Amino acid sequence: MKLLRHIFAFIIVVSLTACTSDDAPVYELNTENLSAASYNVTYLASYGTQTQNVNGLDIITEDITEGETFQLTITFRENGTYISDGQYVVNTQRTVAGEIVSQSTYIEDIDDYIGTYTSNNSTMQLLMDETLFDVTLFNNNQLRLSVSDAYTEDGVDYVESFEIRMER
């Protein structure tokens, strides 16, 4: 009976190991997979800082933009074009040296905007018009894109980031 328990335990361990070692199917970033269905935008945010030295003191300006109440779809086509259509609410806030200097809320209305895209599965990047996004998540249900940049222009340091999340 003891031997039977050991055999039973061995079978369970082997079957659990076999189940967990299955690799998930690879979902390639290509025009066929992108164009399989339309995406609903669920999240959109951008963040930027400008640091300028004024008489030895760094003055930091922060710009935050967030979207909400999305009724916006993006449809990728196999011919390398995409179409954006819908509306969403945009909230913006600008802070200078820790003090809020402006805030606004408005509705962004996009009427059948047509753009171009190119996907690169090996680098997991998506070029939409002239913006090169890193693809942080791509599967049959979700697409997440982000871009960030840091540069200096006329003595001002800039850091910018943008993220968009979509679901089918």
Whether pLDDT at 145 is above 80:
yes
φ, ψ of residue 10 in degrees (nearest 5): -60, -45
Give me the pLDDT at residue 15, please: 52
φ, ψ of residue 57 in degrees (nearest 5): -115, 125
Reference 155, options 39, 38, 55, 5; nearest CA is: 55
Distances (CA, A) of 85 to 7, 75, 96, 112, 153: 60, 9, 34, 5, 34
Query: What is the rounded distance in angstroms from the CA atom of residue 157 to the CA atom of residue 39?
Result: 35
Q: What is the pLDDT of residues 47-100, one digit of tens each?
A: 999 999 988 899 999 999 999 999 999 999 999 999 999 999 999 999 999 999
Q: CA 94 from chain center: how many Å?
A: 22
0.85 exceeded by the pTM? Answer: no
Question: What confidence category does residue 27 fall into, taking pLDDT thresholds of 50, 70 and 90?
Answer: confident
**111 vs 10, residue with greater confidence:** 111
